[in-house]
Amino acid sequence: MAGNKRVVAVLGPTNTGKTTYAIERMLAHRTGVIGLPLRLLAREVYDRIVKARGPSVVALVTGEERIVPPRTQYWVCTVEAMPQEMGADFVAIDEIQLCADPERGHVFTDRLLRARGLHETLFMGSDTMRGTIAALVPGVDFMRRDRMSELVYSGQKKISRMKPRSAIVGFSVENVYAIAELIRRQKGGAAVVMGALSPRTRNAQVEMYQNGEVDYLVATDAIGMGLNLDVDHVAFSALSKFDGRRMRPLAPNELAQIAGRAGRGFKSGTFGTTGDAPALDDHVARAIMDHNFTPQNKVNWRNHALQFGSIDRLIQTLEMPPEDERLVRARESDDLRALKALAQVDEVFARATDGASVRLLWDVCRIPDFRGISHAEHAGLLETIFNDLHQRGYIPDDWLGRQIKRIDRTDGDIDALSKRLAFIRTWTYVAQRKGWTRDESHWRDTTRVVEDRLSDALHERLTQRFVDRRTSVLLRRLGQKEAMVADVNETGEVTVEGEFVGKLDGFRFRVDKGAGAAEDKTVKTAALQALAPQFHLRADRFYNAPDTEIDFTEQGGLMWGSAAVGKLTAGSDALKPQVEVFVDDIAGPEVAEKVKRRLQHFIDRKVAALFEPLLGLSKDETLTGLARGFAFQLVENFGILPRAQVAEDVKALDQDARGALRKHGIRFGQFTIFMPLMLKPAPTRLRLVLWSLSKGLNEFPESPPPGLVTIPVETGAPEGADTMSGYRNAGKRAIRIDMLERLADMLRAEDSRGGFEAKPDMLSITGMTLEQFADLMEGLGYKAEKDERTKVKPVDVVMPKDGSHDAMDPSADTNVPEKLDSDLPGDDAADKPIMDVAAEEPAGGIIETPSDETNPDDRPADVAQMPDDGIAPMADVAAEDPEVDTNIPEVPAEEIPQGTAPDADVAGPELETYYIFTWARSPRGNAGGNRRGGDRPQGQGKPRGKPAKGKGRKPGGDKGGKSQNFSARPPRKEKQIDPDNPFAAALMGLKDDK
């Protein structure tokens, strides 16, 4: 370095006048170049120099903007856009501490090492770079500048308590918008400044703040890079940021760079935190105030001596490691990532075979990814641009015009306009590249006009959204408690004096989220005062609303449409629940009472309609004695009683009492005593709610979906929830009560001691597989023994012309033996045959038997002969489809060993799985002293007689012998013949003939 070349590092905290000093030094030379970190700051410095020397000698060069007069003397640029080796007298680089930035640091490091003025070079930045600059720049002089004003930490404050002329800093677009919206509602509005804004939009927003239209500024960390604003206080809404790869906490020196924007010139400033950001640690706050930070000993670096012989060689030189220990190789940046992606494209690789082509490809890859859609999308765009430039030497006008025309729209919201601005920045950058278009001035002007138009539209949308003077007026009037006009639209949104303040949910006001607790309270109180007339109008409309508009939830809530207006509470009687209303106090007791009366009428009518059979039973004055007591128990249990729970009471009921109870639709089932009409979905849903209220549950069990025969057992459900749902738990699944009784009728005919197999009808009515049915039976108290046996394939049967079942299987007995009440003493109608049970099934879809759930004897003959697995025998299949080849391939006799069947290698014997079910519970172990062995469907402890040989028996389970009756109960009295019956004489005659 020649002796007359002066290199100076001007270091110190913010508000020391470093940038102003650099401008003064540049204007003291004939020519000069200054590199700045942001195009916003570049535009600000450009305006200042133009004001001092005129526009004819000042150039502005950024990635998206290029103003170069013919007699340019002073160049104001972003660091990336600085002209190289142009021989200016003066060169300055601002914010040199950005050498440590993971994204752009290698660019600043390159300027630190290589950018020099002919007479003077200045590096301005933080004092943390002193050691690194001294090590990397020989002969550098240092100049220390102290802050011109004091910077004081003021702690954590709510946004509502933020003083005017404050800047609130966020680190994401969403965070900035949310804060600005909150300030608009509380303070009347805020200006928004972000690095992604165009200079035109940013300047318009800053001007609005500077001239006092708004007193607050919401910005990203872009304001930390030298922007001169009239800010008294800086508040951080967060202490971490996303750096492009990960969320990381901000270092103290980064916080100081932003906090230093408070207090300009000799005016002191303060800094602190707000929102969700915690207060700063004492040592961090002290370091910021004293500007005392850890030295920056490592900076990012990327090789500048690139070789363009081939794509691979270019990549190698870009990834070359540094030689100095203070230099750290920069992480893979967007331009290098794009280069590697395009190197994998065959057409691009074939074109880039010489130095000029590789250099062109590298220039294309350096187009910034302003759009930020995805790396693949960006690489695809670069591929198109490179191919056009390489093939034609320019980008086609018609294609470029179409790209710009799609963006040239000013409709849409802030996000849409921001995206279009990001898109146009790409084409603005392309238009600034010399030689890439046939008419550079045309496309530069075109892209600039579109960007300005979008910038103006974005400024307008930002102002509309975040600046509203009426909000300020409204808040002042709320504080003064003036009479205001409130309006509620169809969706419940509340506006006071035209401003949205919250939402009316039923008869409760939900204040709009975003404000602090104190502001929520103030806004809510004032808004409720304005809403008082609305509450009365709404209460009148609710009182006259039909029941169809009101409903209850499975957790006991009461809804008016989609609005919660109350909840059910337990009353003195389980069938008479009470209501608790959700009404704001400001609405007044008259509104609350009207809402309560309407809800009580609704639930009373709902109980009366859905529980009509149960209420009729409770009001029947003809029931006396044991029947009345039993009816009381049934009402207390909402129409469903497990039989084991009242076994002794059932035995004590005589036939007259049972008959009186049956008139109310009560069914005495084998497992459950219930009212079939109460098993319908609507009563079940209400029953679960009322039962849960009576039990004092915090979380109510939900009613099962209608129409299902079995449902999974819900683990953790309160005891009795299955019964109240209309189901009985058995194994892993619960079976519907009415279907369980149908199954019990089938099981009653089986030998539960000797063992029996499941019939197709049993599987059909439960809708289960054999394995699931076995689990169900075990849950009901049976023992299921699994085994395998050779499957007996059906033989061909000659079908008679009439297709009758009896002709096909002479042994088939289609008659269901009828069991009379006298067959099973003391167990009455619960032991009726299936046909009688079906006659008592509830209406309205409680018994939903699929079409194949019929008696096998009633099915067509071809179905009756089908095996259990539902697969027809091969002979039948072949008869239906002549193309099915059922012949076993012939094997020459000499190849078949003696004694081996020809098809032995084709298939072995087919096995099938079956279960034998036997009763597993002790007859004496049943709760309640029921002698019938718990809930066992069979009438006695032992089989009634010797079962048919080979049918439903466990192998070895029958030793022969006569059937015995182990019942100790005396025979039931014969029912007297009604003398008024017209057939009484004939019946008496038949009786005498016995």
| For residue 838, pLDDT beyond 80 | no
**pLDDT tens digits, one per residue of 300-327:** 999 999 999 999 999 999 999 998 899 9
Tokens 């389970």 locate to: 957
pLDDT score recorded for residue 875: 34
pLDDT score recorded for residue 218: 93
**pLDDT tens digits, one per residue of 711-727:** 999 888 899 999 999 99
pLDDT score recorded for residue 272: 94
3-state class percentages of the chain: helix first, strand second, coil last, to nearest 5 = 40, 15, 45
pTM metric for this prediction: 0.51
Q: Closest Cα partner for 215 from 156, 177, 159?
A: 159
Percent pLDDT > 90 in the chain is 42
pLDDT score recorded for residue 524: 65
The token pair at 104 is 């752009």
Give the DSSP per-residue string, 153-222: EEEE--GGGPPSSEEEE-SSHHHHHHHHHHHHHHHSB-EEE-TTS-HHHHHHHHHHHHTTS-SEEEE-GG
Rounded to 5 degrees, what are φ and ψ at 205?
-70, -45
Instruction: State how far the Cα of 655 lies from the Cα of 95, in Å rounded to an integer.
Output: 101
Instruction: State how far the Cα of 485 lies from the Cα of 495, in Å rounded to an integer.
Output: 8
| For residue 977, pLDDT beyond 60 | no
**pLDDT tens digits, one per residue of 476-488:** 555 555 566 677 7
| For residue 940, pLDDT beyond 50 | no
Instruction: State how far the Cα of 615 lies from the Cα of 535, in Å rounded to an integer.
Output: 37
| For residue 823, pLDDT beyond 80 | no
pLDDT score recorded for residue 916: 92
Average pLDDT, the chain: 79
pLDDT score recorded for residue 981: 53
pLDDT score recorded for residue 150: 87
- Average pLDDT of the segment spanning 153-167: 89
Percent pLDDT > 70 in the chain is 76
Q: Would you place residue 533 in the very low, low, confident or very high pLDDT band (cuts 50, 70, 90)?
A: confident
Please check whether residue 494 is in contact with residue 503, taking contact to mean a CB–CB distance below 8 angstroms. Answer: yes
Q: Would you place residue 246 in the very low, low, confident or very high pLDDT band (cuts 50, 70, 90)?
A: confident
Instruction: State how far the Cα of 205 lies from the Cα of 461, in Å rounded to an integer.
Output: 11
**pLDDT tens digits, one per residue of 379-432:** 999 999 999 999 999 999 999 999 999 999 999 888 899 889 989 989 998 998
pLDDT score recorded for residue 479: 52
The token pair at 42 is 């570049």
Better-predicted residue by pLDDT, 937 or 359: 359
Write the burial class of residue 718 (CB in 10 Å: 0-12 exposed, 13-18 middle, 19+ buried).
Answer: middle
**pLDDT tens digits, one per residue of 66-123:** 899 999 999 999 999 998 878 899 999 999 999 998 888 999 999 999 999 999 999 9
Positions of E strands within 584-740 = 640-642, 667-668, 672-674, 710-712, 727-730, 733-736
How does strand 499-505 pair with strand 493-496?
A: antiparallel
**pLDDT tens digits, one per residue of 431-461:** 988 899 999 889 989 998 999 999 999 998 8
- Average pLDDT of the segment spanning 617-636: 90
| For residue 131, pLDDT beyond 90 | yes
**pLDDT tens digits, one per residue of 717-764:** 899 999 999 999 988 899 999 999 999 999 988 988 889 999 999 999
Give start and end residues of each alpha helix (H) in 489-637. 517-543, 589-610, 612-618, 625-636
Tokens 């972003």 locate to: 78
**pLDDT tens digits, one per residue of 260-301:** 888 877 788 899 999 888 999 999 999 998 888 889 899 999
**pLDDT tens digits, one per residue of 561-577:** 888 999 999 988 889 99
Q: Would you place residue 473 in the very low, low, confident or very high pLDDT band (cuts 50, 70, 90)?
A: low
Cross-strand partners of 121: 7, 91
pLDDT score recorded for residue 850: 38
- Average pLDDT of the segment spanning 814-823: 37
Rounded to 5 degrees, what are φ and ψ at 940?
-135, 175
- Lowest mean per-residue pLDDT among 3-12, 591-600, 913-922, 929-938: 929-938
**pLDDT tens digits, one per residue of 185-229:** 777 789 998 877 887 888 888 888 888 788 899 998 878 776 678
pLDDT score recorded for residue 800: 53
